[in-house]
Amino acid sequence: MKSLTSGWYEHLVRPLLFRMDPEAAHHFALRLLHAAPSIAGGRALLRSFAPAPRPLTIFGLNFPNPIGLAAGFDKNGVAIPAWEALGFGFVEIGTVTAQPQPGNPRPRIFRYPKQEALINRLGFNNDGADAVAQRLRKLRQGPLRPSIPIGVNLGKSKVTPLEEAAADYLYSFRQLHPVADYIVLNVSSPNTPGLRTLQEHDALIALLRVITDENARLPAARPILLKIAPDLSDEALAEIVAAGEEFGLAGLIATNTTLDHSAVAGEGDQSGGLSGDPLRQRSTDVVRFLRSRTHLPIIGAGGIGDQESAQEKLQAGAQLIQVYTAYIYRGPSLLREIIAGAS
């Protein structure tokens, strides 16, 4: 089975996609995935990749399996029915910002096939909170409404000064919480100037206070998670855990991409965040450290690309995991490969 399905992707589809510019290939794939569920036979084809169910309940949500699509793959939520059909246990849309924005100049995604890695400096290109909220509202009212949890990952608009970050997140939160099963505060992208400083104590407390106060006023509060960088000291991680517990967060997502590019040194290094296999060890270490300090649920991300690396994150203390870079290198049979080995 493995050789049939993953061979088809790795030997036929990937070489075609990898002939294209990385971002062009990404948009091409998203367009196909957007269309596929509405085409006769399309949904069945996608479903043929889905893994066997391994249901679990975390922060009050029911997940058919523990593997999610990480933020940034489907920033605008254009292909949710396809991700569900392909067998993802949950999908994280975003990063969405209050204002629509184009992101950084292209090229801004770079492949490192030898390392099964990517560097990106997209800079939160997205349609903006109003448009994404509208798209998700329509989806939830239609025949293809999702039955898996849909998270929405929020970031700061580039034009908003850092001092006004909390208000920017709050605007997006208000637009998107009605259509999200959980909300992520992303304070860890390396591609929006200053964003990572929101992980520092005072700024983080200010952000968490604004969002959790608003959440507490809702008739149905949403689980709020915080997504963190892999490049933090143990001391900074411990402070984040303390803040997360104080404000009653539902969980932590560890980790975003890294600024440590030593794994691709000498291979045409580009500025941006590195993801994929070279990130695996560090993100697992962060998950393990967090687990040693807290009982908060953890979603592990970073270099998950097979059974072993998925098990590693779960054994380090993650309840759920997310994939991005390896899905590009391994294709849609990745989920079955991972689930088959889950204990």
Ligand X SMILES: Cc1cc2nc3c(=O)[nH]c(=O)nc-3n(C[C@H](O)[C@H](O)[C@H](O)COP(=O)(O)O)c2cc1C
Contact with ligand X (CB under 6 A) among 6, 95, 199, 333: 95
DSSP 190: T
Three-state DSSP at 343 gives coil
Give, as ranges, the residues between 18 and 57 that touch ligand X (CB under 6 A).
none
| The one catalytic residue among 172, 189, 309, 333 | 189
Instruction: Say whether residue 257 binds ligand X (CB under 6 A).
Output: yes
DSSP 10: I
Paired sense of beta strands 56-58 and 273-276, if any: unpaired
Contact with ligand X (CB under 6 A) among 157, 172, 199, 275: 275
Site string for ligand X, 178-197 (x = CB under 6 A): --------x--x--------
List all residues 6 or more positions away from 112 whose beta carbon is below 8 Å from its beta carbon: 118, 119, 264, 267, 276
The type of residue at 126 is N
Instruction: Say whether residue 303 binds ligand X (CB under 6 A).
Output: yes
Residue nearest to ligand X (CB): 72
Binding region for ligand X (CB under 6 A) out of 60-68, 172-180, 238-246, 271-279 = 271-279
189 is catalytic: yes
Instruction: Say whether residue 286 binds ligand X (CB under 6 A).
Output: no
Instruction: Say whether residue 120 binds ligand X (CB under 6 A).
Output: yes
Query: Which of 70/290 has CB closer to ligand X?
Result: 70
d(CA 181, CA 61): 8
Binding region for ligand X (CB under 6 A) out of 67-75, 174-182, 290-298, 311-319 = 67-75
Query: Which of 191/215 has CB closer to ligand X?
Result: 191
Paired sense of beta strands 251-254 and 320-323, if any: unpaired
List all residues 6 or more positions away from 154 whose beta carbon is below 8 Å from its beta carbon: 94, 95, 96, 97, 129, 169, 172, 173, 176, 183, 184, 185, 186
Query: Which of 22/43 has CB closer to ligand X?
Result: 22
DSSP 222: P
Q: Copy the structure tokens of residue 292.
A: 């040693």
Binding region for ligand X (CB under 6 A) out of 53-61, 65-73, 98-106, 217-225 = 65-73
* 263, burial (CB in 10 Å: exposed 0-12, middle 13-18, buried 19+): middle
d(CA 170, CA 155): 10
> Closest approach of Cβ 261 to ligand X, in Å?
14
* Site size toward ligand X, by CB under 6 A: 28
Binding region for ligand X (CB under 6 A) out of 12-20, 37-45, 238-246, 274-282 = 274-282
Residue whose C-alpha is closest to residue 52's, from 67, 39, 38 = 67
Query: Which of 82/119 has CB closer to ligand X?
Result: 119
DSSP 258: B
Q: Which residues are marked as active site?
A: 189
Provide the binding-site residues for ligand X, judged by CB under 6 A: 70-72, 75, 94-95, 109, 118, 120, 122, 124, 153, 186, 189, 227, 256-257, 275-276, 279, 301-304, 323-326
